[in-house]
Amino acid sequence: MQVPPHRPPATAHPRAVVAAVERAHRESWSNVLSSVVRLTRDLDLAEDCTQDAFVQALRSWPDEIPANPGGWLTTVARRLALDRMRRETTLRRKLPLLIEEPGEIEQPTDPLRLVFTCCHPALAQESQVALTLRLICGLTTREVAAGLLISESTAAARITRAKKKIAAAGIPYRIPADHELPTRLDAVLTVVHLVYTAGHVAAGPELTRTELTGRAIELARLLQRLMPGETEAEALLALLLMNEARGDARMSADGELVLLADQDRSRWDTKMLAEGVSRATAALLHGHGRFALQAAVAGLHVTAPTWERTDWQQVVRMYDAMMVSWPTPIVALNRAAARSFVPGIDLCEVLAELDALGNEPALRTYAYLPAARADVLARLGRTSAAADAYGEAVALTTNEAERRFLGRRRAALSR
């Protein structure tokens, strides 16, 4: 038998390597980090070693991109963590923490453990959210700030404080016991929803970051399985599924943003929609929490035969109920926007509501407020004021597809 000649692995082009590392970061960041946190029980050390593993990938993968990038990164990151602990002569002290409980090797719930660690009640809720977006999603501090409508320095301070608190308080890396879950759930649901939102309209050139929306849905499914009788967990999963089902229709063939009013509904994922509507209906029958009400709004949109035939009065009723249990400026903005489509509504009255919301600190850098004002002003025939509002929205949005869409709306006013 002739032995084939040995062929060294083909080297990868630098651009291909960068693309592979970026893809691995999107798809595997939280899994790699969760695995290293399990080993170290130290968030700062785990994050440093995970980041170093990605840097090492940029150096090593030109020789050959591994078949399992996530596995390669996990192995390297864990090895770096062990080396660090040995160098710092802390291995002996850490040994009890390295002994994993039976059956706990690389479980798919690891990211959920990390979410619950970040959302421990010892942390302020704003810090819980910021830390989870940073660690679970690998978002930059700037992206975290944009998602939470806060300054970058504030986001950095929240993340730092949360890490220090976890270390000082010895907060465990685990899913809480059953009796602890109800009091811990709301913060985790909020974070998972924000993870989805950060991917649904992402900062940067792409409209959507599917690795974030996909991770949020994965976490929502894990939560629903963990707490099968919890209405709000069911409702959150329903909400995310109905939003995700419309994903393909949100962009036109030439790569431009398409609003719900103009989407080709035949492009919606009917299987995902059916699951979402079914779960939303079940949730609303058993509770009226904020996620159940949000899922109800989404259900009213996706079950309407057309945008024009949406039951806008019922949509507003859902927002009215939300304003009782969850009276936030963004809910108030969404309610006002929905009211503007109710047949026979006084648009001047709606505009007054939107103008009043301009005094809310949380909405001062929120692009959707001037965008909503611009739409109402345009329908009132006040084209000059509408153009100004669209310009303000363009300046505030961090997504390129939305910026182009708003720019086209503004330009159309002068025709």
Query: Interior CA angle at 120 toward 196 and 153, to 5°?
Result: 65
For residue 257, pLDDT beyond 70: yes
Q: What is the pLDDT of residue 90?
A: 53
Q: Is residue 39 part of a domain?
A: yes
Which residues are registered as beta bridge partners of 399? 204
For residue 108, pLDDT beyond 60: no
302 by DSSP, 3-state: which? helix
Q: Is residue 66 part of a domain?
A: yes
Q: Is residue 126 part of a domain?
A: no
Tally the domains of the chain.
Answer: 1
Q: What is the pLDDT of residue 204?
A: 74
Q: Is residue 212 part of a domain?
A: no
Counting residues of the chain whose pLDDT is more than 70, the rounded percentage is 91
User: What CATH number does the domain containing 36 carry?
Assistant: 1.10.1740.10
Average pLDDT over the chain, rounded to whole? 87
Q: Is residue 163 part of a domain?
A: no
Q: What span, in angstroms and rounded, lies between the C-alpha atoms of 159 and 186?
A: 19
Residue 23: give the domain boundaries: 14-91
For residue 4, pLDDT beyond 70: no
Q: Is residue 9 part of a domain?
A: no
Which carries the bigger pLDDT value, residue 3 or residue 238?
A: 238
For residue 96, pLDDT beyond 50: no
Q: What is the pLDDT of residue 121?
A: 85
For residue 99, pLDDT beyond 50: no
For residue 11, pLDDT beyond 80: no
Q: What is the pLDDT of residue 13?
A: 63
Q: Is 199 exposed, middle or buried (0-12, 13-18, 19+ CB in 10 A)?
A: buried
Q: What span, in angstroms and rounded, lies between the C-alpha atoms of 295 and 241?
A: 10
DSSP assignment of 118-169, as one string? Answer: HT-TTS-HHHHHHHHHHHHH---HHHHHHHHTS-HHHHHHHHHHHHHHHHHH
Q: Is residue 343 part of a domain?
A: no
Q: What is the pLDDT of residue 89?
A: 58
Over residues 285-309, mean pLDDT: 95
Q: Is the Cβ–Cβ distance between 39 and 82 less than 8 Å?
A: yes
Q: How far is CA 170 from CA 41, 131, 154, 188, 269, in A?
A: 9, 16, 24, 19, 44
Which carries the bigger pLDDT value, residue 209 or residue 97?
A: 209
Q: What is the pLDDT of residue 100?
A: 42
Q: Is residue 42 part of a domain?
A: yes
For residue 95, pLDDT beyond 50: no
